[in-house]
Amino acid sequence: MLTTKKLSKASPLSELKRSRFEKYSVILSKAKEVRLVDLKSNPGLFNPQAFPSGRLIYHFSDHNDDSETLFLHDFEPFRKTFLVVGIMQWTDRLTDDKVRESRNNLKKLFPNVVSHFIIAFDAPSSATTKVDGVHLINQDKSNLVTAVCEISSRFLAEFSTYASSYQHVTLRSPGSIIGSKRPTPGLSLMAKQRRRISGSFDLNVEKSKKYKTKGRRLKLYANFYLLAGNLRNSLSNFCEAIFYLKSVNDYLWLASALDGLSTCILLLARVDTAFQLPGFVSTLLDSNSSNGRDSVLMSPFSSPASSPRPSLQLPVSISSSIQASSSVQLSPLPLSSIWEMIHRIFAKTFEFYQSTFLQGEDCVPLIVFCECNLRFIGLFTSVCIERELNRSVINHTVYGTCLSRKRIPEDIGDFDHVEFSGIFSQIFSDRFEELSTEQKCTIYDFMISTCDKLRLFRKKSLLVNGFIQLMLSTGLENYRYIYTNAELREVLDSHCQVYGINAAEFPSFRNEPNVLQKKMLFEVFEFCQQVSFLEGVVKYGSILLADFPTLLTDGEQQTIYKGVREDMSKTEAKDIRYWDQQVLQNIEFRNESNDYLVQNELSDALITVRNPFAFDIEISGLQVCSADDTFSLTTQLNSRRQNLISIQYNVPILLRPRTTVSVPIFLVPDSSGKLNLVGIMASICGCDTQLFKTMDDQSNEDDNAGNRMKCKSISLKNTLDVVKQPMSKTRVWSVNVIYEQPLLKLVEVKLSNKWILLLEGECKKFDITLKNYSHVEINNMVSTFIDSTIEPLNQLLTNKNLSPNEVYEIEYYLIKKKPFQILNKKEMQYIKGNNSFNLAMEIWGKRGVKEAKLILEYSHKRKEDTFNEYDFTRSITIPVNVSVYPSVELVGCDIIPLSSRTKVSTNNHGDCWTYLEKMTSQSYKMSDFCLLALDFLNSWTEEMEVTVQCLLTGSTNADFQEQNGPIVPLPEDSFNMRLNLRSKKSVRVLIPIKRMDFTEEMLNQRIPSLRNKQFIYDSRTPLAEQVFIKHAFWYRDELLKRIRACWKIPDKVENSVYAGRFGTIDLRSIRFSSKMVSILEVEKIGLNIQLLDTQEKEIDSDAVQLNTFYTLRVILKNRNDTAVFGMLRHLPVCRGSGTPLEKKVLFNGVLQKSIGKELKPGESRQFDLGIVFLEKGEYEWGALFDEMEKISGKMAIKDQHLQREQLKVKVC
C-alpha cells in the first residue's frame, strides 16, 4: 500500500560502485520500519509520542519520478519523495569538509525534498563526524537501527515544519493544475447537480467554499499523519474531512479521503488498535449506490428533522464522536469486519471517483483512479488466496511478505468473477490509452501477476499480449532490464501454455495449430527480439518454424529463420532442436541385388531428406545411426562427381527451399551382425545435433484415431495431455552385415607381351600373381573359366531337339574340356592376409577361342558362423588374351572291316600292317580287328609331325580323354605310328582297332548327362534309332579311350619360331554311322562255316572237287549273356548260271533245322551237313540263325543273326 510508506530515496555518493551501492541499499532496506516509540519526541505536529504504537515505514527507491507526479503531490502527498539518504563508503580520507560538501550537493540535487541525510557505511568504531545529518555505520552494522531512528526523529521534526506550510494554502484539484482533458459537462448538468444539492441541503456559497477548503486541508493532513505513523489523528482527520467534503459534494477529494481511510483502517488493524468510525461514515458506507448521492447527503446527520440547522453543530459532533471513540476503551474489531468495512469503503470510493468523470477540473486523474483500483484488487486477490483477511494478508499488503500460497487454490476458484471483471473493466476502460507508457507498464505488470494469482490465465495472457503490443509499439526496451531471463521465460512460457503450447517441453503440441496460437507466438517472438531476449527468440521462433510452417507465409518464415539463426550463436541456450522432425524421408541401399553389407567396407546408400521451409537449410555432420549403440557405423558423403567415387568429410549439404533431395552416402559398418538403422544424426541449420527418425506409415492411422479429441473435452488441458503421449512407431531399416571379407587384387599375369598365341591342341603354362590386400585370410575360393566358345555352346544346349550324344558332346566341351587348368588348386584354397600368391595356370588351345577369362570367387568363411545365410563371395576377373590358330585337324573318318581271310599284301608296309601281322602272329585273328581310317589335314603353315597311338583296349584312366600329349607309357601291344604332314596337305591314316565286344546291357546304358540333368524320355525318336545312338555312343566312347593323336612341329623345321611346339589333335569329331558300328562290334551269335573232307580236315575252299563228299560244318557260338534258341538256316548261293541250286549241289539233310536244345551263353555247337557239288562254279555258302522264343509252337522270330563271313567255294 503506497500510502503507508514514507517515500524516501537512496542516492549513491562519492563515486560509489553500483554493486556496493546495491549492497548498502539492501542493508538499509532491512531497517525500513521504525517504531514511533523509539523516536525522540518533538514539539511539532508529528510528535511520535502522540501515537507511540505507530510506525514509520520507508519505501526506499533509487530513482526519482517526482516530476511526473508533481501535480498530484497536494492531492496525494504520499507520491512525493520526502527524504533523501546519501550512501557512501567510509574511507580514511573522508574528512568532515568532504562530507559536508557531499551533503550540500545532495541538497542542491534534491531541493524539493524535506530532509537530507548521509549514511557512511563500513566506518570504524572510532570514527566520528561532526557534520549535521551524517551518520556513520559500523562494519558490523550494529548502529544502523539507531542511525535510522535518529534520522526518523529528525525527519519528523522537519516534516512538521513542512506540513505547517500547508496551513493556509488553498488546495486545488489536480485537474485544475494540469488542465483537464476530460470534457466539461454542460452548464445545465452542473446546474442540475447544484440544484439537487441545494434542494436537499442548503449551504451558501461562502460556507460551501469554507467547508471545501477545510475538508481538503483535513484530508491532506490526514495523509500527513498517515505518513508520520500517527494513525489515530489520521483517522479522525479523514473522518472529519469526509464529513466536510461530503457536505459540499467534493467527490474527488471525498473519494481520496475514503481511499486514505481504508488504508488507515488496515494499518490500525495491523497494530491491533481499536477504533470506531463516526456514525455518519458508517451511514455513508451503508447507503446503496442507486440512490447514493441523495441519501448520503443526509446520512452524516443522525436526524435532519430533529435539527433544522444541523450544519452548525457538525464540527462539534464529529470532534466529539472521534474524541469519544479514542477515549473509550474499545476492543479491536475482528478482521472479517475490517475486510467488510474496507470493501464497502472501496466500493464507495470507486463510486465517487466515477462520479467525477464528468466534472471537468475535479475529474479524477486516471492514474489515481487506476491505482486505487489496483490497491483494492491487490488486497482482494490476497484475501481470495487466503480465503479471509488475516495477518498474513495484512503483512503481505504492508511489507510484501509472502502469502501462504502463491495462487488461489485450484479447487476453490469461485471468487466473485463479476466483481473482479468490474474492476478489471474499470482499469482497462476506454480511457486506458490516456495513461503514459510507464504507467501502463506498471498496471500491466501488476494485473498480470494478479490474474496469475487468481488463475485467470487467459486474462493474464491477454494482458501479457497487451503488454507485448505496448512494448513493440513504444520500443520500451529499457523496461526489459527489470526482468531476468528466468522471469521472462516463466512469464512467456506460461503465456504460451494458456494457448495450448507447451513451450518448455518437446513436442510443444500435436494438435492442428491455429491462427490464434500463431499470432500469439509471432508476437512473443517479435517481443523477444525487441527486448533482446535471445533465448526466447530461439525458442519461440523454433516453435513457430516447427509447428506452424503451414500457417506462416514465406516472408514470415524467412524473418523468423533469420532471427533464430542470428541469435542462436549468441545465446547459451542448449538443446535447440531442428524444426522439422520428419526431415529424414528414407534410407535406401544401393547394393546390386544384395541385401547385406560387409563389415569395414563402403556400401552405397541414398538418404532422402526434405526441406519443407521457404529458406535454404544446411545439413552438417550427417551420420546414420543404428539402434544398437554397440554397433558403430561410419557415414561418409559421396560427392559423386562424374560417377567417380569421392568421399567428403564435414561438408554441409545445402537444401533449396521446398525440395526433397536424395543424398548419396557411403556407410561403413564397423562390426558384423544384424544392423538396424533407426535414423540419422545431423546438425541442421546450426541446431544441436540430434537424431531424426521417420514415422512408420502403417502405425500412424491407428494412433490418430485414438488421439482424436472428443467433443466433451472443454479445456486445453486435453491438448497438452495429448502432447505427452508417446509418438507413434518409427521406421527401422534392417540389414545384415557380414563379417570382414578379404580383397584380392591382380598383380601380374606373367606372359610375354601379355598375349598367348596357341596352336590348336597346344598346352601352355603360365603364372598369375595375386595379392590379398586385406588382413583377412581367404579360405574359400572357387574358380570359373569363361572363354568365347562357352556362350555359343550354351546357346546350342538350349536346342531341345539335340540328340543325347550331341548334348553330351557339348557338355563335354563345357565341363570337362576347359581351356584353363589351375595346377596348384590345393594351395590356393587358403591365402593369408596381406600375402601374395602365384597361380600356376595351364591353358589349352581350344578351337574357336578368341578371348578367355579366369574368374576367381573368394571369401572368408568362419566355421562357427551361424549367421552367414548369405553366401557372400567376391570375384576377381582376370582376362587372358589368347589367339588360337588351327594346327592339324581331323577332316574325315571311316572304318574298314578285316576278315579272317584278309591277307597282308607284300606291298603294304605301313605301320598298320606291321602291327596287324604282329598281332595275328600272336593269338589274335585278323577278323578281330578292323581299320579306322582318319583323314588329317595340316592347316598350319609349317610341316607337322603327326603321331597316332592306339591302345588295344580302352584305358582305365578316367581322365584319359582330357589328357594332352602322347600316351606315356605306351603299352607293348599298342599301336603307334608317326608321319610327317606338310602344310595344307591331308593324309589318311589307318589305325587297327580291335573290335569291341560289349554286352547288350552295357550298350543300352543311358547316355550320361554331365550337367546332371534329369533324364527325359524321348518319345519322338524311333526306338531303333535310340538304340543305335546309344550303341554308337558307347563304341565311340571306347574308341576315344584307346586312341590319341598328337602333332608336333619338328625341330628340324628351319627358321621356325614354333619349332618344337606340340599339341594334341582333337579326335572328338569322329562320328559313327550304323555301318561303322556294325563293323566295329563283335557279333553276338557267331556263325562260322567250315568245309571239311571226309577225314574232317578243313580244305581250301578254292580247290573243291566235283562229285566229292564234303562236310559243311556250321559252328554256332553264343556270345550273349543268355541262352538262345532258334533255327539255323543254310543260305547257299550259286553265282553265274541260271541252273537251280538243287541241280548243282546235293546235300544230305535239310537246309533249315532247329538247333535243338538251347544254346547256353559261351557255348558252341556244330551242325554238319554232307554236300556234293555237281557242277563247277563259284558258290557262296552263308548261314543264318533265327533266334526264337523257346516256347513250343511259337514261330515268331525274335532276332536274326547273319553270318559275318560267307564261305566262298570255287568248284573246279
Partner 1 sequence: MSYYFSIIGNNDAPLYELEIGTYHQSGDGTPHLPKEIHQLEQFIVNSSLDILQDIQFKNNAIFTKNLDNFYGYQIFSYLTQGNAKFIILTDLKSHDESLRQFLIEINELYVKTLLNPFYTVNNPITSSGFDTRVRLLARKYL
- CA dist list (Å): 106 to 10, 13, 94: 11, 9, 16
Taking the complex as a whole, how short is the minimal distance between the CB of residue 525 and partner 1, in angstroms?
Answer: 15
Give the three-state DSSP class for 293. helix
Q: Which is nearer to partner 1, 519 or 1210 (CB)?
A: 519
Q: What is the DSSP string of 506-574?
A: SS---SPP-HHHHHHHHHHHHHHHHTT-HHHHHHHHHHHHHH-TTTS-HHHHHHHHHHHHHHHHH----
Q: In this structure, what DSSP letter does residue 329 have?
A: -
Does 417 bind partner 1 (CB under 8 A)? Our answer is: yes
Q: Which is nearer to partner 1, 458 or 901 (CB)?
A: 458
Contact 882, 756 (CB under 8 A): yes
Bond from prior residue into 507 cis (ω within 30 degrees of 0): yes
Among residues 17, 519, 570, 1157, the one that binds partner 1 under rule CB under 8 A? 519
Among residues 429, 868, 902, 1105, the one that binds partner 1 under rule CB under 8 A? 429
Does 457 bind partner 1 (CB under 8 A)? Our answer is: yes
Taking the complex as a whole, how short is the minimal distance between the CB of residue 715 and partner 1, in angstroms?
Answer: 8
Q: Which is nearer to partner 1, 414 or 1054 (CB)?
A: 414
Does 514 bind partner 1 (CB under 8 A)? Our answer is: yes
Instruction: Tell me the C-alpha distance between 738 and 747, whole Å.
Output: 27
Does 209 bind partner 1 (CB under 8 A)? Our answer is: no
Q: Which is nearer to partner 1, 363 or 447 (CB)?
A: 447
Does 432 bind partner 1 (CB under 8 A)? Our answer is: yes
Does 920 bind partner 1 (CB under 8 A)? Our answer is: no
Does 409 bind partner 1 (CB under 8 A)? Our answer is: no
Does 425 bind partner 1 (CB under 8 A)? Our answer is: yes
Among residues 511, 558, 707, 728, the one that binds partner 1 under rule CB under 8 A? 511
Does 428 bind partner 1 (CB under 8 A)? Our answer is: yes
Taking the complex as a whole, how short is the minimal distance between the CB of residue 662 and partner 1, in angstroms?
Answer: 34
Among the residue ranges 181-189, 263-271, 706-714, 790-798, the one whose residues contact partner 1 (CB under 8 A): 706-714
Taking the complex as a whole, how short is the minimal distance between the CB of residue 189 and partner 1, in angstroms?
Answer: 20
Does 458 bind partner 1 (CB under 8 A)? Our answer is: yes
Taking the complex as a whole, how short is the minimal distance between the CB of residue 534 and partner 1, in angstroms?
Answer: 25
Among the residue ranges 29-37, 135-143, 428-436, 724-732, the one whose residues contact partner 1 (CB under 8 A): 428-436
Binding mask 462-501 for partner 1 (x = CB under 8 A): x--xx--x-----------------------------xx-
- Residues 6 or more apart whose CB falls under 8 angstroms from that of 475 comprise 530
Identify any residues that bridge with 662 across adjacent strands, giving them in sequence order.
Answer: 608
Does 512 bind partner 1 (CB under 8 A)? Our answer is: yes
Cell 490516456 sits at which residue?
A: 434
HSE (side-chain half, CA atoms, 13 Å) at 1115: 12
Instruction: Tell me the C-alpha distance between 232 and 275, whole Å.
Output: 8
**Of residues 963-982, which lie at the interface with partner 1 (CB under 8 A)?**
none
Taking the complex as a whole, how short is the minimal distance between the CB of residue 69 and partner 1, in angstroms?
Answer: 25
Phi/psi for 399 (5° steps) reads -105, -10
CA 961 to the chain's CA centroid = 63
Cell 595346377 sits at which residue?
A: 823
Q: In this structure, what DSSP letter does residue 186 have?
A: P
Q: Which is nearer to partner 1, 148 or 498 (CB)?
A: 498
Among the residue ranges 430-438, 575-583, 634-642, 926-934, the one whose residues contact partner 1 (CB under 8 A): 430-438
Taking the complex as a whole, how short is the minimal distance between the CB of residue 484 and partner 1, in angstroms?
Answer: 25
Does 413 bind partner 1 (CB under 8 A)? Our answer is: yes
Q: What is the residue type of 388?
A: E
Q: Which is nearer to partner 1, 134 or 524 (CB)?
A: 524
Taking the complex as a whole, how short is the minimal distance between the CB of residue 486 and partner 1, in angstroms?
Answer: 25
Identify any residues that bridge with 609 across adjacent strands, giving them in sequence order.
Answer: 584, 661
Taking the complex as a whole, how short is the minimal distance between the CB of residue 482 and partner 1, in angstroms?
Answer: 23
Instruction: Tell me the C-alpha distance between 1072 and 1077, whole Å.
Output: 6
Q: Cα 404–409–415 angle (5° rounding)?
A: 110
Look at the alpha carbons of 667, 696, 672, 629 in this order and tell me if their dihedral is positive or negative: positive
Identify any residues that bridge with 654 across adjacent strands, giving them in sequence order.
Answer: 618
- CA dist list (Å): 334 to 155, 284, 324, 338, 341: 34, 21, 20, 6, 11
Cell 541401399 sits at which residue?
A: 589
Q: Which is nearer to partner 1, 414 or 572 (CB)?
A: 414
**Of residues 708-727, which lie at the interface with partner 1 (CB under 8 A)?**
709, 711-716, 718-719
Does 430 bind partner 1 (CB under 8 A)? Our answer is: yes
Taking the complex as a whole, how short is the minimal distance between the CB of residue 448 and partner 1, in angstroms?
Answer: 12
Does 459 bind partner 1 (CB under 8 A)? Our answer is: yes
Among residues 15, 272, 410, 433, the one that binds partner 1 under rule CB under 8 A? 433
Does 1005 bind partner 1 (CB under 8 A)? Our answer is: no
Among residues 47, 160, 249, 461, the one that binds partner 1 under rule CB under 8 A? 461
Taking the complex as a whole, how short is the minimal distance between the CB of residue 260 and partner 1, in angstroms?
Answer: 28
Does 421 bind partner 1 (CB under 8 A)? Our answer is: yes
Among the residue ranges 155-163, 183-191, 455-463, 1094-1102, the one whose residues contact partner 1 (CB under 8 A): 455-463
Taking the complex as a whole, how short is the minimal distance between the CB of residue 357 and partner 1, in angstroms?
Answer: 13
Taking the complex as a whole, how short is the minimal distance between the CB of residue 714 and partner 1, in angstroms?
Answer: 5
Instruction: Tell me the C-alpha distance between 1065 and 1044, whole Å.
Output: 8
Q: Which is nearer to partner 1, 511 or 881 (CB)?
A: 511
CB atoms within 10 A of CB 453: 19
Among the residue ranges 280-288, 517-525, 1113-1121, 1167-1175, the one whose residues contact partner 1 (CB under 8 A): 517-525
Q: Cα 449–451–453 angle (5° rounding)?
A: 70
- CA dist list (Å): 918 to 911, 913, 921, 1016: 10, 8, 5, 47
Q: Which is nearer to partner 1, 243 or 376 (CB)?
A: 376
Q: Which is nearer to partner 1, 244 or 424 (CB)?
A: 424
3-state secondary structure 654-672: EECCCEEEEEEEEEEECCC
Exposure pattern of 589-623 as b/e (b: 16+ CB <10 Å)? Answer: beeeeeebbbbbbbbbbebebbbbbbbebebeebb
- The helix (H) or strand (E) run that includes residue 269 is helix 251-270
Taking the complex as a whole, how short is the minimal distance between the CB of residue 59 and partner 1, in angstroms?
Answer: 31
Taking the complex as a whole, how short is the minimal distance between the CB of residue 308 and partner 1, in angstroms?
Answer: 44
Among the residue ranges 441-449, 451-459, 570-578, 603-611, the one whose residues contact partner 1 (CB under 8 A): 451-459
Among the residue ranges 263-271, 320-328, 515-523, 868-876, the one whose residues contact partner 1 (CB under 8 A): 515-523
Instruction: Tell me the C-alpha distance between 640 and 663, whole Å.
Output: 10
Q: Which is nearer to partner 1, 411 or 430 (CB)?
A: 430
Does 456 bind partner 1 (CB under 8 A)? Our answer is: yes
Between the two ends of the chain, the Cα-to-Cα distance in Å is 172
Among the residue ranges 134-142, 429-437, 575-583, 923-931, the one whose residues contact partner 1 (CB under 8 A): 429-437
Contacts with partner 1 by CB under 8 A: the residue count is 39
- CA dist list (Å): 632 to 674, 1192, 1207: 12, 91, 95
Phi/psi for 1004 (5° steps) reads -90, 10
Instruction: Tell me the C-alpha distance between 464 and 633, whole Å.
Output: 49
Return residues touching partner 1 (CB under 8 A). Answer: 413-414, 417, 421, 424-425, 428-430, 432-433, 456-459, 461-462, 465-466, 469, 499-500, 511-512, 514-517, 519-520, 709, 711-716, 718-719
